[in-house]
Structure 1
C-alpha cells in the first residue's frame, strides 16, 4: 500500500470518527431534551453520591433539586453543571498521571538499569560506584610530592593531653601526616563522637580525588581540630590505649617513624587495616610506603 493511499484512509477514518462523535452528541442531546425530567434527577443523584452530598451546597445542586417534578430542566444545565467537576477531574487525573510518569521514569527498574550516555564505560561505572567505594581513584592520577622524614614535633612534649601544646606542635605537620595521625590514634583509642573521624575520612578521599589536592583553610581546621580531640579527649575512652598511642608518638625521632609505630600498635590490635590509609598513596607516597611496610612487617 502506497503512502498516499494510507494517508487517504487515515483522513477518511478521522472524518468518520468526527461524524460519529457529533452524531452521538446529537443523539444524547435529543434524549436529554425529551427525557430531562427523569434524567436530570438521575444525574443529580449521581452527583450527590459521588460528592458525598457536598454537591447539594452548590448553585447547580440547589437548581437540580428545586425543579418541580415532571418539569424539564434547562437544556444547557447538564453541560454547564458538568464543567467544574469535569475540570477538577481532568486536573486530578493529569496530576496523578504526571506523578506516575515521574515515578516510572526515575524509579522504575528499567530507568535504574538504563545505560548512561555513552554506555557502561569504565569511567561511568567508576563514577556510579564512587559514593559506595570512595577509594576508587581515576586512572592516571599523578601522585603528590612525598614529604621528607622531618623531626617529630611531639617528641619533646611533656604531656600529649595538653590541647594547646598539641595544636602548636601540629602546626608544622603537612595535612596528610596530621590526618594519618588523627586516624591512627583514634583507631587505637576511639573517641565517642564518630562524626569528626568520619568527616576527616570523607575529606581525605575528596582531596585525593581532586586534580589539585590543596585543602581549604576550613579543611585544615577540621583535620587539626580532630587531631587535637583524639589526642586530648578523655571521656569514654580506653586511657591505657591512649597512653600507648602517646608513647608511640613521643618515642620516635621522625614523624614517619612515629606514624609507623602507631600503625604497628594498631596492627597488633587489628583495628587499622591497610585500606584505612589507601588514600595516603596519592597524598604522600613515601609516608604511605613507610606506614604500609611497617604494618606488614
Structure 2
C-alpha cells in the first residue's frame, strides 16, 4: 500500500505507523497505519478511489479538534487535509479550503472588513470540521453564513453542494452520513466597519480565554446543550469539577470541558465522559449527548 500511496503523493506526505496523539487537540490516540496529507483536490480523489479499489479502510481526520481517537489507533488510510489551507476573498464572498483553521477564516474576513464570521474567531479546528458539525458559538453558527461547498463523495468524484443540501442543524450535518470529504467552503458575508468587527472578535476572544481551560489539551466542549439546560451547569451542580480518572479531569475552570492534565489515555478520557453522563442522568434525569466524536479501535 505504501508504494501505491507514494505513486499519488510525495513520500514525505505518507507517514507509516504514525501516532495520532501528535495530530489531535486532546493529545490522545494510537497509531494510524498510513497517515496521508494530500496537497491537491485531485490527490484527494485519487486516494479515495485507491481505498475503494483496494477495499482498505479510510478515515478523514481533519485537524482533530472535536475528536477522540482510541488507544488502539486507526487501521487503513487516515487522511489529514492540513495542506489545503488557502483562503481568498472577493467583495462579500470568502472561500476557504477545508484544512484552513476556521479562526484564520474569521481573521481574513476581518482583514477585508467582512462581517459574519466573528462568532468563529475562537473555535478550534478546521473549516472542514466546522461544516461537518455545523460549528457555532456565541449565537452564531456555520449555517448562518455558508453558501456552498465543494466535496469529494464516496466514489471519489467532485461535487458542489449548496448549504441547504447539507441539512445543517444544531451541531450536525449530513456530511458523515454521505461520507463527504469537504474540500472548500464559500461563505456569504456583509461589509462592515473594521473597528466594529474587531471589537466583537476581541470581546469573544476575551470571553473564551477567561472562561475556557486553554492551558490544557482538550477536545473543546464535550457535550451538546440539552434542551432547557446548560451542560456545564448540570456538571457543575453535580459537583464533578476536578473529578479525575487517570490523567483526564473535568475542568475546574469550565465544567463542560474535560482536560488532559497528565498524559491521559483515550480510555481514561472516555471513561470520564461516561461517568459524567451517568452522574448527571442520576441526579437530574437529563441525558448528556456527546458533541465530541470518538473513533478508532480499543487497545488489545
- TM-score, length of structure 1 as denominator length: 0.23
Higher helix residue share: 1
Larger Rg: 1
What TM-score does the superposition give when structure 2 sets the normalisation length?
Answer: 0.22
Q: More strand by proportion, 1 or 2?
A: 2
